[in-house]
Amino acid sequence: MQEIRWGIMGCGGIAHMFADSLNALDEGILLAGASRTPGRAQAFAKEHGMERVYTDYESLATDPEVNAVYIATTHNFHFENAMLCLENGKHVLCEKPFTVNAAQTKELIAFAREKNLFMMEAVWTRFLPAIGKLRELLAEGAIGEVLTVKADFSITGEFSAEHRLKNKALAGGALLDLGIYPITFAAIVFGEQPVRIQSSAVIGETGVDDRSFFLFDYEGGRRAQLSSAFTHHAPSEGIVCGTKGYIRVPVFHAAQELHIHREGRAPEILKRPYGDNENFTFEITEAMECIAAGKIESDILPLSETLAVMQTMDILRAQWGLKYEGE
């Protein structure tokens, strides 16, 4: 594999997970990082052994030694940051949600293809070994015909009105940050988008969805019951229900094991563990392998799938009347 020299835009919490995961791999180099917050990139560089530090994103995007950029800024900046990188010939791995809406995603896809550059959404769940095994089991009919998917991702904490989860100016809300995971889980299981979407949301004081609930109908009477919130505790699990059994995936967004319950057989637990600093290694490896092979998108998470999920989230927000700045 050719050596990919990475830059990071935004040096907040999730960027640390990326840096730890990249440093856990034998391939790839974390060369540069940029943050507009004074001192943050310097502290990040010291912690992760990063060679170059920038206080503006343009300098990172124009660094001739950087091949690819991981975008770890807040949601509202993803589109402009990704466009800046593409304009300067950089491959892009952009944290989820890829953009704020489908129109932005379409524009980025068209431009990346025009520039013949690799681009992928960093939805780490899709690349985990346990999720790969889940796909295999479903493809071989391990639990018969799958009819129902249930998934929830809810957290709680002391979030100020300025926190990115609650800040409408930063495209906050449970849906784009948390709800994308159960929606992704349903897409992985069914391999297609819903034909009918029903939903409701509790809009909080800051104007974003504090809690949101989705009911998706698919062809053939199949259904997904999904939800997300940052107001309460709940089990973060995905359950796939079939005609001959079911599979429970504890902490599905960070899956490390599958609990398989098949008709007439004892329950089975399949484990696919990874280390604390390896969370993003699988998505990073996929990106680097694609770049080395000259591909401009991933087979595991093609750009059409990123667009489809974004279109689904657009429909949900339209049902709630939730619009962000500039929409």
- Under a CB-based contact definition with an 8 Å cutoff, are residues 203 and 172 in contact? no
CA 65 to CA 7: how far, in whole Å?
Answer: 9
Q: What architecture does CATH give domain 129-273+309-320?
A: 2-Layer Sandwich (3.30)
Least confident of 114-118, 156-160, 194-198: 156-160
Q: Provide mean pLDDT across the span 142-167.
A: 95
- pTM (2 d.p.): 0.96
The H or E element that residue 315 is part of is helix 303-320
Domain boundaries, the chain: 5-124, 129-273+309-320
208-257 pLDDT, tens digit per residue, is 999 999 999 999 999 999 999 999 999 999 999 999 999 999 999 999 99
Q: Provide mean pLDDT across the span 160-178.
A: 95
256-300 pLDDT, tens digit per residue, is 999 999 999 999 999 999 999 999 999 999 999 999 999 999 999
Model confidence at 2: pLDDT above 70: no
b (16+ CB within 10 A) / e for 202-239: eebebebbbbbbbebebeeebbbbbbbbbeeeeebbbb
**Among candidate residues 27, 35, 40, the one with its CA nearest the CA of residue 8:** 35
Model confidence at 129: pLDDT above 60: yes
Model confidence at 57: pLDDT above 60: yes
CA 235 to CA 249: how far, in whole Å?
Answer: 11
Residue positions annotated with a catalytic role: 96
Backbone angles phi, psi at 65, to 5 degrees: -85, -15
Mean pLDDT of the chain: 96
Would you state the structure tokens that stand for residue 173, as one six-digit string? 């809300």
Predicted confidence at residue 1, as pLDDT, reads 53
**Among candidate residues 104, 133, 134, 129, the one with its CA nearest the CA of residue 119:** 104
Predicted confidence at residue 178, as pLDDT, reads 97
Q: What percent of the chain has pLDDT over 90?
A: 96
Predicted confidence at residue 326, as pLDDT, reads 85
Q: What architecture does CATH give domain 5-124?
A: 3-Layer(aba) Sandwich (3.40)
Q: Provide mean pLDDT across the span 51-65.
A: 97
